[in-house]
Structure 1
Amino acid sequence: MILHIKNMVCNRCKMVVKAELEQLGFNPVSVKLGEVILSENIFPADKAKIAERLNRFGFELLEDKKTQLVEQVKTSIINLIHYAEEPLKINLSAHLSVQLNIEYHQLSAVFSEAENQTIEKYFIAQKVEKAKEMLTYGELTLSEIAFQLNYSSVAHLSAQFKKVTGLTPSAYKAETSNKRKTLDEI
């Protein structure tokens, strides 16, 4: 049985979900961002127990197909920006269509309706959040950050960064109270 779970955005989330399911007596075969495969089918009462337990940690079981699709888009983008080893070689729309096996215009319509923003704006917000993280650590130059996030230039990164945050990357780095968001808040 496959469970779709909202707000799983990191490896710690996967560990928490797996541990909670095991404590409830279930056997997760696979735990990925946004999705758990259980070895057994579960009854509605079991699903309610799982939902209640996961809600304590800020997770939510997704029943609705549209909501599941939106979460799959988000998870795919988070994986791409925050966990991929190499930058995306094809455009985002092609990547999402292939990965989710749905035409991009359908993905876009469902996502925009549910989230009140486009997939592209969500993608940019994730990239800017990753840039904030990299700037906070201070280990890379702006040029290296732009390259790692697959920007065509530092100017392009800076323009998007300023549009989203209201600050240039340099001003953000100089500010003492860096305002980073958790991935599920974006």
Structure 2
Amino acid sequence: MVCDRCILVVKQELEKLHIVPSFVVLGEAEIPDDTTAIQLQELHKNLAGVGFELLDDNRKKIIEKMKTIIIEHVHHDDADNKHNFSDILSKALHKDYSYLSALFSEVESITIEKYVINQKIERVKELLVYDELSLSEIAYQSGYSSVAHLSGQFKKITGLTPSHFKKMGGVRRRPLDKI
């Protein structure tokens, strides 16, 4: 789950099956231990129908938590634009960063750093489409050291300059869960 609408959909699917979760947050929902196998099977089917999956593999759970933490910091946390994701992930998941990095790369076939860059570029695209901030304000807010660094990374990932993307009207944006 990567957005508030995702949380709402998951809550609705749980309600349909009369399952009362302890909590539902980005990327995670805790359901009661007394949930029946039939309810779980139906929940699995219903969630798959709306593009989600139940994760029972601990490795997948860790990766989903890592993705959620990264998305939260990149897209929703304006307080600190200079994120040290190795520290953030290690502290939040109580695991050594080298383990998390190797696990992420093995399962996702992309490094955490590349995933963070892709998320940052999607955030920059969003801010460009909103057209409320200058490119230097976007660079600062996104944690880039300069407009040149942001522009170079943006072009490397998208093949376009930020100004060209802005002129196109944001037609190349991707959903966060597809990054």
TM-score under structure 1 normalisation?
Answer: 0.91
State whether residues 122 and 173 of structure 2, in contact with CA within 8 Å, keep that contact through their aligned partners in structure 1: yes
Paired residues for 1:10-159 under 5 Å: 10-159=3-152
Unaligned runs of 5+ in 2: none
The match for 1:4 is none
* 2:124 counterpart letter in structure 1: A
Quote the Cα distance in structure 2 between the aligned partners of 1:168 and 1:48. Answer: 47
State whether residues 27 and 40 of structure 1, in contact with CA within 8 Å, keep that contact through their aligned partners in structure 2: no
> What is the CA distance between 1:131 and its match in structure 2?
0.3
Q: Over the residues paired in the alignment, what is the CA RMSD in angstroms?
A: 1.4
Quote the Cα distance in structure 1 between the aligned partners of 2:66 and 2:93. Answer: 8
State whether residues 134 and 145 of structure 1, in contact with CA within 8 Å, keep that contact through their aligned partners in structure 2: yes
State whether residues 136 and 178 of structure 1, in contact with CA within 8 Å, keep that contact through their aligned partners in structure 2: no
State whether residues 22 and 28 of structure 1, in contact with CA within 8 Å, keep that contact through their aligned partners in structure 2: no
> What SS does the corresponding residue of 1:36 show, helix, strand or coil?
strand
Deviations 1:128-158 (A, max 9, x none): 0010011011111111111111111111111
Q: Which runs of 4+ in 1 moved over 3 A?
A: none
> What SS does the corresponding residue of 1:41 show, helix, strand or coil?
coil
The match for 1:180 is 173
Quote the Cα distance in structure 2 between the aligned partners of 1:88 and 1:171. Answer: 25
The match for 1:161 is 154
In proportion to residue count, which structure has more strand?
Answer: 1
Quote the Cα distance in structure 2 between the aligned partners of 1:110 and 1:123. Answer: 15
* 1:114 counterpart letter in structure 2: V
Aligned length: 179
State whether residues 87 and 149 of structure 1, in contact with CA within 8 Å, keep that contact through their aligned partners in structure 2: no
* 1:94 counterpart letter in structure 2: D
